[in-house]
Amino acid sequence: EESISVSELSQSMGVKASDLIRKLMQLGTMATINQLIDADTAALLATDFGFTVEKKGFEVEEFIPEVEVDESKLVNRPPVVTVMGHVDHGKTSLLDAIRQADVAAGEAGGITQHIGAYSVQTPKGPITFLDTPGHEAFTAMRERGAKVTDLVVLVVAADDGVMPQTAEAIKHAQAAGVTILVAINKIDKPGATPERVMQQLTEYKLVPEQWGGETIMLPVSARTKQGVPELLEYIALQAEVLDLKSNPETLAAGHVIEAKLEKGRGPVATVLVEEGTLRVGDAIVTGIHYGRVRAMMNERGEQVKEVPPGYPVEVLGLSGVPVAGDEFNIVEDEKAAKEVAAHRAEKARQKELGSVKRATLEDLFAKS
Ligand code: GDP
Ligand code: MG
């Protein structure tokens, strides 16, 4: 499990790497300077050079705080909504229409940033939308057992009906146990037949409320904005039914929605806070990257100092560009964040070395 590279061991003991390699050869191991050697071999070597080795266990989990389940501290949080559907059925157009319906738009200048997640103020309260290109982040998170989305808005074009990616989206949402709300889009078009779409959806166990089922299906037009305020209202209503709550009083945790490297800003990650409150200055770790939250920006490009659960935000200050779909955690201090990240990097490196070794073995078998 535990291991150290020949060069690291030589540095920590102040012994020449070539001497270590020679010693390893005497022990029957051919090693290079970058090779990882296990703890037992390292201990043996160290003893040969007059050192004693203390084995220190290291558990990443020690640094990651447990989620505190304190019923008394739970407060309502906004619903997190993902818009899914077949290509060209109007996901982007609908998200744009929703952005424009933001009631906070007037005074604050509206949503200016095209970031992977944003919060919209509606008369019934705030709603968080994930604007993920494709569904990669959503599926990646689901594969890892995380349920980030509370509701899926399934966009189906009224003139086109259920298509392969519609079926795919339904499958993903149903497998994740997420409530689906159907937006039958493009009803402004002459060839629009919403009833046909409703009929088609019953084949996927989505029966409209109008027909005695449980699924809300709304005719909308992203182009004329017809039905958009109603859609937001229904989302808010569904959220009330789901009674979504989080504890804002713990160290923050959540997921990376998207991330990129920006000139002059460094790594920028859009994260969704799911537990706790995220603050500027917090020590953050996500995957093999870590840092101190240097600044945070909302979807209006405004700097924010703290972000409660259910809200997305852009985070600056990470050591590298994290992976969309990865969890992020706030830990006690930057030292802990660095250690967790380093430990994960080391583990990933070992895994890679392992797979290289396996590949080589397979190559050998293939040749013989
Ligand atoms: P996406 O691939 O699902 O994101 O679809 P887009 O939002 O890019 O829309 C695909 C095309 O359909 C674009 O040309 C839009 O202008 C058009 N479109 C989207 N919504 C509507 C609508 O409600 N009515 C009409 N007539 N066209 C729409
Ligand atoms: Mg699109």
Instruction: Check pocket membership of 241 for ligand 1, CB cut-off 6 A.
Output: no
Atom number in ligand 1 closest to CA 222: 23
Instruction: Check pocket membership of 132 for ligand 1, CB cut-off 6 A.
Output: no
Do the strands 283-286 and 278-279 form a parallel or antiparallel pair, or are they unpaired? Answer: unpaired
Task: Tell me the pLDDT band of 348, cut-offs 50, 70 and 90.
Answer: confident
C-beta separation of 119 from 298 below 8 A: yes
Instruction: Check pocket membership of 186 for ligand 1, CB cut-off 6 A.
Output: yes
pLDDT tens, 188-209?
A: 999 899 999 999 999 999 999 9
Q: Is the pLDDT of residue 164 over 80?
A: yes
Instruction: Check pocket membership of 89 for ligand 1, CB cut-off 6 A.
Output: yes
User: Which residue has a Cα nearest atom 2 of ligand 1?
Assistant: 88
Instruction: Check pocket membership of 96 for ligand 1, CB cut-off 6 A.
Output: no
Please tell me the predicted confidence (pLDDT) of residue 135.
56
Instruction: Check pocket membership of 135 for ligand 1, CB cut-off 6 A.
Output: no
% of the chain surpassing 70 pLDDT: 84
pLDDT tens, 25-68?
A: 888 888 888 888 887 788 788 888 877 666 555 555 567 776 66
pLDDT tens, 240-262?
A: 999 999 999 999 999 998 899 99
Of residues 150 and 356, more confidently modeled: 150
CA of 222 to the centre of ligand 2 (A): 12
The ipTM assigned to this model is: 0.99
Please tell me the predicted confidence (pLDDT) of residue 40.
77
CA of 133 to the centre of ligand 2 (A): 7
Residues with CB under 5 A from ligand 2 (ion): 91-92
Of residues 283 and 300, more confidently modeled: 283
Please tell me the predicted confidence (pLDDT) of residue 242.
92
Please tell me the predicted confidence (pLDDT) of residue 267.
97
Task: Tell me the pLDDT band of 368, cut-offs 50, 70 and 90.
Answer: very low
Please tell me the predicted confidence (pLDDT) of residue 272.
95
The response to whether 114 counts as a known ligand-binding position is: no
Least trusted range by pLDDT, from 49-58, 224-233, 272-281: 49-58
Q: Is the pLDDT of residue 361 over 80?
A: no
The response to whether 132 counts as a known ligand-binding position is: yes
CA–CA distance, 363 with 182 (Å, rounded to integer): 51
CA angle 116/194/204 to nearest 5° reads 70
pLDDT tens, 82-93?
A: 898 999 999 989
Please tell me the predicted confidence (pLDDT) of residue 290.
97
Of residues 144 and 321, more confidently modeled: 321
CA of 88 to the centre of ligand 1 (A): 6
The response to whether 202 counts as a known ligand-binding position is: no
The token duo for 18 is: 């070539």
Q: Is the pLDDT of residue 184 over 60?
A: yes
CA–CA distance, 130 with 153 (Å, rounded to integer): 11
What does the pLDDT average to over 161-173? 92
